[in-house]
Each structure stands twice: as C-alpha cells, then as structure tokens.
C-alpha cells in the first residue's frame, strides 16, 4: 500500500522494543500517516491525551509488566477513548477472545485480536478488513461541514478516491467483483464518508464530475489488478440525479473509453427508493445504458418506498438486498427477505446480500438462494492497491471465515 491511504495516528503499546519496531515498520508500509509507540501503559495514556489529530487505532499487547493490557483497557474506557483497538498477545486465542469481549462490554471499539508472534499478513488482513467506515455514529457526527468549493478542490487535487469492497460468489466462495465506494481522506479530521459529501455533490450539481473522476481512477486501478492476474467486475454507485440527464449514457461511455475501459465490464448501482419520482427520463437513460451492455443493479432494495412495479419495467440485472434485511431478527424483515429473493430469481435477477457481518448471516442468505455476498464478514472497503493482496490472502482466510 502507498502512504497517505489510512489517515490518522496509530499507537502501538508493547514492552518489547523489538516488537514495537517490527510492528511500526509494517504499519508505516500500510500507509498510516503517523505511527506512535509506547512501552508502558502510562506512556500510552499520555500519548492518547496529547496527540492531535487523535489516535485512531491502538494496538495493544495484553502482557506487560506494571500496567497490563486489561488494566489499560479499563483506563481507556474511563478516559473515554473513542478510537479502535486491536489486541495481541502470546496467550492462547481463548484468552484473547475473552479480552475482546471484556473490552466490548466496556463499550470500547475492538476491531480484532492477533496472536503473537505477529505475522505481517494477519495484521494486514485485520486492518484492511477494518479500513471501511468505523461505524461509530459519534465519529460521523464529527464530520466537518463540506462546501461545494471544498469538494471541487478535493476532486481537482485527487484527494477524493475510490475504495473497493469485494463481492463474493456464494457457490464458489470466490471474489467476483468490487463495489467502488468514495472516500475522502482528510489529514486533520480523519476520513470523510460518502454519506456526508455525496448529498453536497448532488445539491451543487457536482455529482457527475465526482462519479466520472472516481470511475476513471477505478478503471486505471482495475488495469493494475489485471496486470497482477486479478480480474474483478467493477460496480459504481450512480446517483438518481445523474439519470435525469439524457446525455449521461454517452458521457459515461466517453469517459470509460478514454480511461481504456469498457462499459460491458461495468455495473451501475442505482438506489430504488429514489426511482419513485419522474420515471420517464431515468427509464430512457437506463435503457440506453442497457443497450450499451452495462449491467444494472437495484441498490438498497427493501428500503424507502419500495416500488415493486418498477421492477417490471426497468431493465435490472441484479437486486441488492439492504443490510437491514440480512440481520434476520425481525420476522417481518425475514418475510420480505424471502419473498424478495424469490421474486428477484423469478425475474432472472442475480441477488446480492449486503452487509453480511456474521457466518450465521452468510448461511441464512445462502439457504435462501442469494448469489453473492458483500459485507464485513469477508472484507471492508479498502484502497485499490490493497486488492491484489487481499485476493491472494482470501483463498486461505476464507477457510477460517466460512469454515
Ligand atoms: P451503499 O451503496 O449501500 O454501500 C454500502 C455501504 O455499506 C458502504 O458504506 C459500505 O462500506 C457499508 N457496508 C458494507 N458492508 C457492511 C457491513 O457488513 N456492515 C455494515 N454495517 N456496513 C457495511 P459507505 O462506503 O459509507 O457508503 C455509503 C453510501 O454512500 C453507499 O451506500 C452509497 O449509496 C453512497 N456512495 C458511496 N460512494 C458513492 C459514489 O461514488 N457515488 C454515489 N452516488 N454514491 C456513493
Ligand atoms: Ca451500492
Ligand atoms: Ca446498498
């Protein structure tokens, strides 16, 4: 990975200088802007208090003289540390799991644990799996106010970048594609997520420029993957606003061709709830995209005002079930999940289950007959240059993850 992908500081706490040095070296190579180290719990607490921008991730050894890892976790909770924690230890995995549970019970955000000696790949896997949205609403609430001018500068300077989340085929367990998700690393406040800046881009008429700029970069990225033998279909999210312009298909075609790509290897994801308004123009645009052999996907299916009738008229190839249906806790959600899969299949659509976080959820959507899975169980969104390594490690790690 290149530098400047993972913004923010990481702090490694271990009493062994050699371990500190080795881990710091690996983290440096992964692109953390700042890697701090501490040999005692006291030092760690001081660094957390004084570091600005705040420490995003603490890697912590459970076994330390003086203040051990468990005590330090308690202190983190007392001091209100809000970043993520990755535990490691030479103790058995049972002990590590218990420490994880204890930390979560204290409302700390634990992203995982690794046994010592730490293998580079294991570290890499846990961190890149995690490098999507931290999921903590508190942090999203910290997001800065974005103006259209800031967005324009962000695009011009190439700060806005596409990250990628793999889509896994259930039958073969192989990655078959990636969804491009916009990320805006920000050195002072931590990354800004699309929920924050996409609406600004839509309101200010910048959304097409943003889409095209990210698609161009993704196509170049895909060419790099292909050079290392990785062939994945690319899916991009398309705002409903883009479908209101009749010239969108041709402009998209031009951009993709100029980047050396082909529309036939692309998939566009459109959110169903917003297809509600004026249907004629979007239908025109979608049909023309279809004629250009783009695969179309209906996103977040089951949220907002579900308009099933549109499925009859709109040329979708794929249905993406919103993650709220994948959890399976509420019997009504289960009923909707089951009938959506059934209906999608009868209409000849591929079905993707989004937001699969646990093996139990994977097994449920597999039983129901979904074709693909996307979710943190398999991988979070990651920078493009992490994809080939992730694909290489997946053939091994999938056995652990999926049994
Ligand atoms: P989406 O298209 O539904 O994308 C899936 C979102 O769920 C992503 O959030 C992804 O990181 C997150 N996610 C994936 N797996 C899991 C999981 O297992 N559990 C949980 N809790 N979440 C998971 P993200 O990247 O923050 O994107 C949010 C939304 O922003 C996207 O929702 C999409 O609608 C929009 N978006 C992202 N990039 C673009 C873009 O380039 N253009 C447009 N128009 N919209 C974008
Ligand atoms: Ca999507
Ligand atoms: Ca979705």
In degrees rounded to 5, what are phi and psi of residue 61? -85, 135
Domain match, 156 and 125 both: no
Among residues of the chain, what percentage have pLDDT more than 90?
51
376 lines ligand 1 (CB under 6 A): yes
Instruction: Mark whether 274 and 386 lie in a shared domain.
Output: yes
Please list, in sequence order, all residues whose beta carbon lies within 8 angstroms of the beta carbon of residue 200, skipping any fewer than 6 positions away: 146, 147, 148, 151, 206
Report if residue 3 sits inside a domain: no
pLDDT band at 272 (very low <50, low <70, confident <90, very high): low
Same domain? For 155 and 290 the reply is: yes
Residue for token pair 């529309």 = 263
Q: Of ligand 1's atoms, which has the minimum distance to the CA of residue 377?
A: 18
The CATH number of whichever domain residue 112 belongs to comes to 3.40.50.2300
The pLDDT assigned to 8 comes to 65
- Select from 130, 156, 176 the last residue of a domain: 130
Ligand 1 pocket test: which of 137, 180, 181 has the largest number of ligand atoms within 8 Å of its C-beta? 181
Q: Whose CA is nearest to atom 19 of ligand 1?
A: 355
Q: What angle, rounded to 10 degrees, do the helices at 387-402 and 359-368 form? A: 90
Residues 123 and 152 reside in one and the same domain? no
| Per-residue model confidence (pLDDT) at position 1 | 33
Per residue in 59-75, pLDDT (tens digit) is 999 999 888 999 999 99
Cβ within 8 Å of residue 338, ≥6 positions away? 368
Residue 178 located in a structural domain? yes
Q: How many CB atoms lie within 10 A of CB 338?
A: 14
Strand, coil or helix: what is 173?
Answer: coil
Contact indicator for 272, 300 with CB cutoff of 8 Å: yes
Range of the domain at 53: 9-130
Q: What is the mean pLDDT of residues 219-231?
A: 97
Q: What does the pLDDT read at residue 129?
A: 66
Continuous segment of H or E residues that includes residue 39 = none
Q: Which of 84-98, 133-147, 156-170 has the lowest mean pLDDT?
A: 133-147
Q: What is the mean pLDDT of residues 246-254?
A: 96
What's the CATH number where 213 sits?
A: 3.20.20.450
* Token pair belonging to 174: 């192989």
Check: CB of residue 166 under 8 Å from CB of residue 377.
no
Q: Rounded to an integer, what is the distance from CA 335 to the centroid of its chain?
A: 27
Same domain as 152, residue 113: no
How open is the CA angle 135-137-141, to the nearest 5 degrees? 130
Indicate whether 206 and 335 sit together in one domain.
yes
Q: Is 222 in the pocket of ligand 1 (CB under 6 A)?
A: no
**Based on the domain organization, do 86 and 194 belong to the same domain?**
no
Whether 179 and 243 share a structural domain? yes
Q: Output the CA torsion 218→221→227→228 (10° steps).
A: -110
Considering the domain boundaries, does residue 188 fall inside one?
Answer: yes
Q: What confidence category does residue 227 fall into, taking pLDDT thresholds of 50, 70 and 90?
A: very high
Residue 138 covered by a domain: no
Beta pairing class for 350-353 and 161-169: unpaired
Domain end: 104, 130, 156, which one?
130
245 and 331 assigned to the same domain: yes
Q: What is the pLDDT of residue 322?
A: 86
Check pocket membership of 375 for ligand 1, CB cut-off 6 A: yes
Both structure tokens of 371? 């074709």
Residue entry with tokens 């899975």: 373
Q: Give the span between the Cα atoms of 81 and 331, in whole angstroms.
A: 37
pLDDT score at 334: 85
Give pLDDT, residue 189.
64
Residue 231 pLDDT more than 60? Answer: yes
Name which residue sits closest to atom 17 of ligand 1, judged by CA. Answer: 355
Same domain, 116 and 167: no
SS3 for 396? helix
Q: Where does a domain end: 130, 158, 177?
A: 130
Name the domain count of the chain. 2
Name the token pair of 34: 């700042």
Residue 182 lies in a domain: yes
286 in a domain, yes or no? yes
Question: What is the distance between the alpha carbons of residues 106 and 77, in angstroms, rounded to a whole number?
Answer: 6
In the numeric block, which tokens belong to residue 200? 């600004």
Same domain, 93 and 163: no
Same-domain check for residues 239 and 383: yes
pLDDT of residue 235: 98
Domain-located, residue 1 = no
Ligand 1 pocket member 267 (CB < 6 A): no
Kindly state whether residue 346 falls inside one of the protein's structural domains: yes
Helix (H, G, I), strand (E, B), or coil: what is residue 141?
helix
Per the CB < 8 A criterion, the answer to whether 182 and 206 are in contact is no
């Amino acid at each position: 990975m290149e530098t400047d992908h993972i913004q923010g500081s990481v702090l490694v706490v271990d009493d062994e200088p050699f371990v500190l040095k080795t881990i710091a070296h690996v983290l440096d190579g992964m692109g953390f802007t700042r890697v701090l180290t501490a040999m005692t719990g006291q030092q760690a607490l001081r660094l957390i208090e004084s570091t600005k921008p705040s420490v995003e991730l603490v890697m912590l050894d459970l076994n330390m003289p003086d203040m051990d890892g468990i005590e330090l976790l308690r202190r983190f909770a007392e001091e209100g540390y809000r970043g993520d924690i990755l535990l490691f230890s030479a103790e058995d995995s049972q002990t590590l799991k218990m420490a994880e549970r204890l930390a979560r019970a204290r409302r700390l955000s634990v992203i995982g644990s690794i046994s010592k000696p730490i293998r580079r790949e294991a570290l890499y896997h846990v961190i890149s799996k995690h490098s999507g949205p931290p999921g903590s609403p508190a942090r999203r609430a910290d997001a800065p106010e974005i103006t259209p001018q800031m967005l324009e500068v962000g695009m011009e300077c190439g700060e806005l970048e596409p990250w990628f989340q793999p889509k896994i085929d259930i039958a073969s367990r192989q990655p078959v594609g990636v969804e491009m998700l916009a990320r805006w690393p920000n050195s002072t406040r931590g990354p800004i997520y699309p929920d924050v800046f996409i609406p600004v881009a839509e309101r200010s008429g910048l959304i097409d420029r943003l889409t095209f700029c990210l698609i161009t970069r993704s196509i170049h990225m895909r060419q790099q993957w292909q050079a290392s033998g990785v062939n994945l279909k690319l899916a991009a999210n398309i705002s409903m606003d883009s479908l209101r312009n009749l010239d969108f298909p041709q402009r998209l075609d031009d951009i993709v061709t100029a980047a050396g790509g082909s529309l036939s290897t692309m998939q566009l994801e459109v959110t169903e709830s917003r297809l509600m308004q004026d249907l004629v123009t979007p239908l025109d645009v979608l049909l023309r995209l279809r004629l250009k052999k783009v695969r179309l996907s209906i996103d977040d299916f089951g949220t907002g005002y579900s308009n099933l009738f549109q499925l009859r008229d709109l040329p979708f190839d794929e249905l993406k079930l919103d993650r709220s249906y994948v959890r399976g806790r509420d019997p009504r959600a289960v009923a909707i999940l089951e009938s959506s899969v059934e209906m999608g299949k009868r209409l000849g659509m591929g079905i993707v289950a989004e937001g699969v976080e646990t093996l139990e959820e994977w097994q449920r959507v597999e039983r129901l007959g979904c074709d693909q899975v996307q979710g943190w169980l398999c991988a979070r969104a990651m920078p493009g240059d992490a994809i080939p390594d992730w694909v290489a490690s997946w053939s091994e790690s999938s056995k652990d993850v999926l049994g």
